[in-house]
Amino acid sequence: MADPITKVCRELCRKFPHHPARAIARKLVERTNGAITLDGARSRVRYQFGQCGAKKKNRTGAVAKRPARAPGQGIDLPPTLAEPWVVHDFGVVGVVGVISDLHVPYHSEIAVKAAVELMQDREIAGLLINGDFCDFYAISRFDKDPAKRDFKAELSAIREVLGSLRAAFPDIPIVLKSGNHEERWSAWLWQHAPEISDMPEMGLDRWLHLDKHQITLVEDKRIVMLGQLPVLHGHEKGKGISSPVNQARGAFLRLNHTVLEGHGHRTSGHCEPDMFGREVFCWSTGCLCELHPAYAPINKMNHGFALVDVQADGEFDVTNLRITAEGKVRQS
Ligand SMILES: [Fe+2]
Ligand SMILES: [Fe+2]
């Protein structure tokens, strides 16, 4: 005749045959009002699962035999298909130029020249092209003007501007982070050539000749870190406050974290202290494309870019710059 504790133990093991032994042991201690210790409860549970070593394993008393498990192995699962989402550390100490939204071949020659000249003057140590470098108008899923659908010409202009940027900054690391317009490439492939879309030859890096110019591509909406400053293109946050009055404040409300982003084609900044008085500062940079695109000729876009001075300890200073219609660079 089993004692009362063994009875409760058997009942629990029958009821929860797949639960970890430690969890059942805790229940047993609870159900018996602490009449036994957790260790004692655990050996009783293991006994009921037939896991008391080779000698006792085949005893007939076990009510729910099961194979021994590795520590922490609660349940059997297939390996996850989810890929890790990790930040890209730019890894440069010094002044990094951050430009975005050139939308080549619809770039502004005046704005790009002004930004490049100032960055050369400041002898930047790295260049981050923060998304929407390409427009990819011809492969957009939106309504398109047939007269403008010349993908080959677009591609050729994109390659040319990349080459010009490398020539302007021959010895520094250059990173191109994908924006929503670069993602038009994979979206187009998935729709029109799914069978070959995952071949390395179809990668955006190959089509833009990034290897030739030693330019690193960062895809999958990953964050680029300039020291401790996270940089986003701006489309990574998903739907929500898509066109806030102040983009930087919209970013603050979504992220509650310091960030610098492009995408909105408008220079803005927003700063608030957190409950410990630490400063949370969000910035959005202006664009370097034409300011009156056919889809929205009247808008509030402005030209601009940023310089981020990154210290060895990760501290940083952001200078958010605007460019006037005449090509003068102004500090916001
Ligand atoms: Fe853009
Ligand atoms: Fe964008």
Here the tokens at position 191 are 């729709």
Burial of 127 (0-12, 13-18, 19+ CB in 10 A): buried
Q: Determine the pLDDT at residue 294.
A: 80
Which residues, chain by chain, have CB under 5 Å from ion ligand 2? 132, 179-180, 263
Return averaged pLDDT per consecutive 10 residues of the chain, 332 residues in all: 89 90 92 92 91 65 80 78 93 98 97 98 98 94 78 96 98 98 96 94 97 97 98 88 81 95 97 94 98 87 98 98 97 78
Here the tokens at position 144 are 């398109």
125-127-133 Cα angle (round to 5): 175
Residue 5's nearest CA partner among 41, 42, 50, 39 is: 41
How far away, in angstroms, is 140 Cα from ligand 2 center? 13
Look up residue 174 and give its amino acid.
Answer: I
How far away, in angstroms, is 295 Cα from ligand 2 center? 14
For the entire predicted model, the pTM comes to: 0.80
Q: Which residues lie closer than 8 Å to 266 by C-beta, 6 or more apart? A: 247, 284, 286, 287, 300, 301, 302
Q: Determine the pLDDT at residue 145.
A: 77
The residue to which tokens 């297939």 are assigned: 78
Q: Determine the pLDDT at residue 149.
A: 78
How far away, in angstroms, is 124 Cα from ligand 1 center? 23
Ligand index nearest the alpha carbon of residue 103: 1
Q: Determine the pLDDT at residue 146.
A: 75
> Which residues are bridge partners to 89 per DSSP?
225
How far away, in angstroms, is 25 Cα from ligand 2 center? 55
DSSP category for residue 289: B
How far away, in angstroms, is 298 Cα from ligand 2 center? 18
- How far does CA 241 lie from the centroid of its chain? 18
Concatenated DSSP letters for 45-108? HHHHTT-SHHHHHT-TT-SS------TT--S--PPP-PPP---EE----EEEEEE----BTSB-
Contact 213, 174 (CB under 8 A): yes
